[in-house]
Amino acid sequence: MTRDVAVLGAGALGTTVAFDLAFAGEDADGGDVSVTLFEAGSVADGSTGRAAGVCYDAFAEDVDAEVGARAIERFRTFDETGEFEFHESPYVWLAREGDADRERAIREQLPRMQANGVTAVRMERDEFAQRFPSLTSDDVAVAAVAGAAGYTTPRSYARTLAVLAKRQGATLRQDEPASVAVDPLRVNGERFDDVVVATGAHTKQVLAGAGFEIATKPYRVQAATYATAYDGPMVYDATDGFYLRPHADGVLAGNGTEEREADPDAYDREANDGFAESLRERATARAPDVEDARITEAWAGLCTATPDRDPLVGELAENVYVGTGFQGHGFMRAPALGETLAEQVLGEDDGIDAFDPTRFDGDEEFDVVEGMLVDDR
């Protein structure tokens, strides 16, 4: 008997789920698996295509560290497959002098990371200056560096996984917005045995159409690229709240988080006026090479928040699965959490308790909080 599975959303998470299901070919009971991947537009058209592509495993919580390590492992496995390339690069995060809270958080988090197997070390100012001469160091109170890290073009990952899924027999249906109904389980009127909803910022809407409420809020983030020479690492300046990484143009920098709910159908996809210029000034304080660099692109995308800043990943109701609420860490976790979702569908895994999507009622009141934070978590 064939198990028909619908995967909604051809971003990084959805294409990973589709590939892993198609590659497995059968479920835990030995039944065949047939996969149909639905996408409202084209592959990686949504949040994945607007993600920064920063990837690392530097998390202090054990489950986050495990997921991060598995994701990096899979990124490395897929490197140079199709159009996808994963560029190894250290990930550095730092606190400035006078920022006692973040300095303390970095110092306290590192031993927890190391206890969870994360390859990360602390650097005081002199060592930081010697290791990364292209970065300004005179205001650094403390820094840390993680070695299992790198960057990529997110769109290339999703496109490659979609191609691999099709080669394994999955059906890709683009330009087909999907609606879900239950009793019996249907997508656009067609019967399926399982449905995985991975439609990014639209996940809440898609599930609401089927009668499910989830506690998530989309929020807007911004990034820009600059033409300049840069040979430094990926950096997160926790005190000033921005990140930068090497890019084909020179540097990609971002955050520009707006801590309020956004409409996924009507948000402004262009960066705010003056955002790229302002960010360039801030980034120059850390990476002098960015000063006077030409702006090549500036844009906005969407992330999704949850009340506790942990994602919703797993079985929401019988045979209905979800992956959303990643607080800006969705792309970097997609290879691992897509694998987990596929294993749940196949009956090979019980999921991750901390990410259980049924832990909320769906009507919780909560504020949108920046996802890329250095705090006591």
Average pLDDT, rounded, for the chain: 96
Residue 182's pLDDT is: 96
How far apart, in whole angstroms, are the C-alpha atoms of residue 300 and residue 223?
A: 6
What is the side-by-side order of every strand in the sheet holding 320-324? 171-173, 32-38, 2-8, 194-197, 320-324, 312-317
Picking from 318, 323, 320, 312, the residue whose alpha carbon sits closest to that of residue 356 is 312
Q: What is the pLDDT of residues 335-344, one digit of tens each?
A: 999 999 999 9
Residue 139's pLDDT is: 97
Query: Contacts by 348-352 with C-beta closer than 8 Å and gap 24+?
Result: 348/27, 348/28, 351/313, 351/314, 351/315, 352/63, 352/67, 352/313, 352/314
Spans of all domains in the chain: 2-49+154-214+307-355, 217-305
User: The domain 2-49+154-214+307-355: what is its CATH number?
Assistant: 3.50.50.60
Residue 375's pLDDT is: 60
CA atoms within 13 A on the CB side of 247: 26
How far apart, in whole angstroms, are the C-alpha atoms of residue 69 and residue 147?
A: 11
Residue 369's pLDDT is: 87
How far apart, in whole angstroms, are the C-alpha atoms of residue 301 and residue 49?
A: 9
Strand bridging mode 217-227 / 250-255: antiparallel
User: The domain 217-305: what is its CATH number?
Assistant: 3.30.9.10
Would you call 198 helix, strand, or coil by DSSP?
coil
Residue 217's pLDDT is: 97
The pTM assigned to this predicted structure is 0.97
R_g (Cα) of the chain, nearest Å: 20
Would you call 220 helix, strand, or coil by DSSP?
strand
Residue 47's pLDDT is: 95
CA angle 134, 122, 239 (to 5 degrees): 65
Strand bridging mode 2-8 / 194-197: parallel
CB 126 within 8 A of CB 138: no
Within 10 Å of residue 143's Cβ, how many Cβ atoms?
28
CA atoms within 13 A on the CB side of 88: 6
Residue 51's pLDDT is: 97
Residue 146's pLDDT is: 96
Q: What is the DSSP letter of 319?
A: T
Distance of CA 218 to the CA centre of its chain: 13
Residue 97: phi, psi to the nearest 5? -60, 140
How far apart, in whole angstroms, are the C-alpha atoms of residue 319 and residue 195?
A: 6
Residue type, 366: F
Residue 68, token pair as written in the block: 């991060």
Position of tokens 């537009």?
Answer: 41
H/E segment holding residue 345:
helix 330-345
What parts of the chain have a pLDDT lower than 50?
377
Q: Per residue in 269-291, is it b (16+ CB within 10 Å) or e — as a string?
A: eebeeebbeebbebbbebbebbe
Within 10 Å of residue 202's Cβ, how many Cβ atoms?
22
CB 366 within 8 A of CB 215: yes
